[in-house]
Amino acid sequence: MYQGLHGGFSGRVQMGQRAVIYCRVSTADQSCVRQKDELKRFAERAGYEVSGIFMETGSGVRVDRAERRKVMALAQAREIDAILVTELSRWGRSTIDLISTLQELESYRVSLIAITGMTFDLATPHGRMLATVLAGIAEFERDLISERVKSGLAAARARGKVLGRQKGERPKSDRLAPKVLALVAEKRSYRWIARDLGISKNTVAAIVQRER
């Protein structure tokens, strides 16, 4: 069940529900302290048993968010029941990423609870409607990105620029290879790795194949 709470929590959860706190700030001159304190107070009022606090610094679009990966690993292992964040923007890198991780957490039966913002409870018709709307927005976002990329490529070709990677060049693949291999060693699925690092499953498989 996904649940986001607007203006506070209306009731107590079942006692003993295990939760972790996840905080993120965008720059090094910011602090996670306010988020952490708010979430600790919320957890106490709601009756959650906090089993860990994860904090990191990184922009919303940054791919490598090690602390979030640790939280997802706990969810996959069924070691927690909920993830507590102050806002959904602290968790998701984009609408597409938010929907993807919500779907993954649903399969683990782990809730993502934001103490401010929109309400997500996929156990209710209202929550399912919101999820459908967001899925549509995510698809629209993908289409816009694709359109901008195609437009940019066409403009570059018109200027006579040679596009595409030269034979034998794999800059992004080679740069991400150590991370891919580390995650494979942690028994992550190719699909999970591809989604987390923003690459295709075929790229993950190719990196692994080259190292064997």
pLDDT (tens digit per residue) in 143-186: 777 777 777 777 777 777 665 555 555 667 778 888 888 888 88
Same domain, 95 and 59: yes
Same domain, 129 and 200: no
Q: How many CB atoms lie under 10 A from the CB of residue 180?
A: 24
CATH classification at residue 139: 3.40.50.1390
Positions marked catalytic:
26
Same domain, 13 and 118: yes
Same domain, 33 and 136: yes
Q: Which residue ranges in the chain fall short of pLDDT 70?
A: 1-15, 59-63, 117-124, 126-128, 131, 134-135, 137-138, 140-142, 161-171, 212
Same domain, 91 and 2: yes
pTM: 0.57
Q: Token pair of 47, please?
A: 């009756």
Same domain, 28 and 68: yes
Report how far residue 100's alpha carbon sits from residue 77's, in angstroms, rounded to the nearest whole number.
Answer: 18
Same domain, 131 and 189: no
Q: 71 with 22: CB under 8 angstroms?
A: yes
Same domain, 152 and 56: yes
Same domain, 181 and 141: no
* Sign of CA pseudo-dihedral 178, 184, 186, 192: positive
Q: How many domains does the chain have?
A: 2
pLDDT value at position 159?
A: 77
Report how far residue 2's alpha carbon sits from residue 143's, in angstroms, rounded to the nearest whole number.
Answer: 26
Q: 98 with 128: CB under 8 angstroms?
A: no
53-68 per-position pLDDT tens digit? 999 998 655 567 899 9
Same domain, 85 and 3: yes
Same domain, 54 and 26: yes
Residues facing residue 84 across a β-bridge: 21, 113
Q: Give the domain range for residue 114.
A: 1-162
Same domain, 147 and 195: no
